[in-house]
Structure 1
Amino acid sequence: MLHSVRLLDTTDSTKIWRKFRGSGHRYPLLIKFNYWVLYKSPDNSWFISASPSMKELWIYSRAVPSKKRLERMVRKASELGYDVRKLEFPAQ
């Protein structure tokens, strides 16, 4: 469950602080992290974000992407400097 999102720099909406609650065994987890939006597709249907260290990277999509679109997303992440061999894709 998303708890809050805050822009870190109001002049640059690509740097975001996010906080949300996860579910723990006994107590709910409170997860906080900064991330940067590295790329947004021209049609706003997907975007790429990463931690400032580039150790974590996420590709968000409004819908399950086609194989061709997923290849384009991964290629863009590679162009941005991320080691795409580390990407994991959950079963849909």
Structure 2
Amino acid sequence: MKRVDIVYGGGQYSLGGRTLESIQNEVETALASGKPYWLRVNSGGGVFEDAYLLIVPGIPFAILNVKSDNGTGIDLDVDGAFNPDVL
């Protein structure tokens, strides 16, 4: 399953089953509305625990696209530099 991590005001949260692009669109739409918006995210480590992040200008917000390591413990697509002939 895909997971996107979010860093908000120094805390780390996550969203499963979402793409980076869908979250970007949701946040951009919220900011363009000019109204406060609450983004529902996960604050738990194994069990989903609701947290709601207030999306307004001025609060540090970053979206991190978590890539699968295919069970190898190695990110196979670091900066698009994966070369299968080297492994």
Q: Same fold (TM over 0.5)?
A: no
Q: Which structure: greater strand fraction?
A: 1
* Structure whose alpha-carbon radius of gyration is higher: 2
When the two structures are superposed, what TM-score results if normalisation uses the length of structure 1? 0.27
